[in-house]
Amino acid sequence: MPASALLTLMTTAARKAGRSLARDFGAVENLQVSVKGPGDFVSTADHKAEDIIFTELSKARPDYCFQMEERGVIEGADKSHRWIVDPLDGTTNFLHGIPLFCISIGLERDGEMVAGVIYNPIMDELFSAEKGRGAYLNDQRRLQVAARKDLSNAVITTGIPHRGRSGHERFLRETAAVMKQCSGIRRTGSAALDMAWLAAGRFDGYWKHGLSPWDLAAGLVLIREASGCVSDMDGGMNIIQSGSIIAGNPHVHNMLAGTLKSIET
Ligand code: IPD
Ligand code: CA
Ligand code: CA
């Protein structure tokens, strides 16, 4: 199925911003040795990528609203459409020269996520999905979540709350319970990539608290269009509002939800 004009626009914006991030990533690796460190440089790279995405999207759809991680909310005349953008997800990886980061662009229509693009410019992997039209890798391979039915064979990904964030104790309790039941736990350092890789069948399950709308928006469409199951921690659909997510195929999702529910918060 050919991509719609909207998805093509999102893809073009992501690839263009991705070229900028990839160039800056090459430079950041050389800055690792400097005493000052590359922190300011990375924040400039992040803003540059966001500027490119903003320019591309607003040129083509001047009335749409935006919610961007760096610029914040930008209101437009068309209140039913909103771009939700993380120009660099996996900032700590980027800063440390680890090539696991991406751009995430989601489109919300009348309160519902309808399209998403997640692009890792280093691996040149572009994950895209549109409601009712399937999820794809690089416009070629149709994506499907993994079919494994048992948690015992499943590789589960999550995120670890870092210094300054809440939820450290809860994370340890949850991880202790999940690791006893699954084949392995991974942590990529990019929530958007976790979701894209789950849609691609690389990960079987995902859980995480404390996420922002721009971490989640595009990935939700990808997982649903790859026949995955997503919910918040209570099994409801308030994923973006609560910032918490459980995902997997229906079997893994159920088992993961049951395990996490059994833990006192
Ligand atoms: C972060 C990453 C990380 C997740 C954090 C996010 P950023 O986004 O997605 O994996 O654990 O909760 O804030 O800061 O790299 O855009
Ligand atoms: Ca993020
Ligand atoms: Ca970010």
What CATH class does 151-261 carry? alpha beta
Give nearest CA residue, ligand 1 atom 4. Answer: 191
**Is the Cβ atom of 90 under 6 angstroms away from ligand 1?**
yes
Q: What topology does CATH give the domain 5-142? A: Fructose-1,6-Bisphosphatase; Chain A, domain 1 (3.30.540)
Tens digits of residue pLDDT in 210-222: 999 999 999 999 9
Instruction: Tell me the mean pLDDT in the region 41-49.
Output: 88
In this structure, of 12-16, 41-45, 68-72, 232-236, the range with the lowest mean pLDDT score is: 41-45
List where CATH 3.30.540.10 sits in the chain: 5-142
Query: Where residue 37 falls among pLDDT bands split at 50, 70, 90?
Result: low
Ion ligand 2, residues whose Cβ is below 5 A away: 86, 89, 215
State residue 40's pLDDT score: 75
CA of 101 to the centre of ligand 1 (A): 10
Query: CA 147 to CA 176: how far, in whole Å?
Result: 24
Task: Give the list of residues 6+ apart from residue 164 with CB closer than 8 angstroms, or none.
Answer: none
Query: CA 153 to CA 255: how far, in whole Å?
Result: 12
**Is the Cβ atom of 213 under 6 angstroms away from ligand 1?**
no
Angle between helices 168-179 and 250-261 (to 10 degrees): 120
Query: Where residue 264 falls among pLDDT bands split at 50, 70, 90?
Result: low
Q: b/e per residue, 23-40, with b = 16+ CB within 10 A?
A: ebbeebeebeeeeeebee
Going by DSSP bridges, is the β-strand pair 184-186/155-158 parallel, antiparallel, or unpaired?
parallel
Task: Give the list of residues 6+ apart from residue 98 with CB closer than 8 angstroms, or none.
Answer: 90, 189
List where CATH 3.40.190.80 sits in the chain: 151-261
Task: Indicate which atom in ligand 1 lies nearest the CA of residue 160.
Answer: 11
pLDDT of 31 above 70: no
Tens digits of residue pLDDT in 108-160: 999 999 999 999 999 999 999 999 999 999 999 999 999 999 999 999 999 99
Task: Indicate which atom in ligand 1 lies nearest the CA of residue 210.
Answer: 12
State residue 33's pLDDT score: 52
Q: Which residue has the higher pLDDT, 36 or 93?
A: 93
Query: Where residue 229 falls among pLDDT bands split at 50, 70, 90?
Result: very high
